[in-house]
Amino acid sequence: LISEGYVMIKILFNAFSFLREHLKKQNINYVNSMMEIPENYTPNLLIKKLGFKEDEVEAVFINRLIGSKDTILKDGDRVALLPPGTPGCYRLMLGIKKA
């Protein structure tokens, strides 16, 4: 994921459920993994770079809160990707879906 010619930042990365299989096939660590990405990267760009289709990632946690896929990530952010399929009550508790 390192791109030459860019200022790089570090994020702590996690992925859940079936997203892990996709990353495992690419030899990408997905549990509390320190990842370098270019400055001004968004979760949307990260999702694409990891080879996921947009609808394969329903929610993004940034620093343990649901965040927008268009948020500019900062050095030291904690980022987690969650696929669709989380059961209803958990979707509300996690903030993925509003009541």
* Residue-level pLDDT at 97: 66
How big is the CA angle at 79 (ends 54 and 26), to the nearest 5 degrees?
Answer: 60
Question: What value does the mean pLDDT take over residues 11-23?
Answer: 95
Q: Quick one: tokens of 11?
A: 């994020």
* Residue-level pLDDT at 99: 46
Name the strands in the sheet holding 65-67, side by side, starting at the edge strand that comes first in the sequence. Answer: 33-38, 8-15, 78-82, 59-62, 65-67
Can you tell me the distance from the alpha carbon of 40 to that of 98, in angstroms, rounded to the nearest whole number? Answer: 28
* Model confidence pLDDT, tens digit, residues 41-99: 999 999 999 999 989 999 999 999 999 999 999 999 999 999 987 666 666 667 776 54
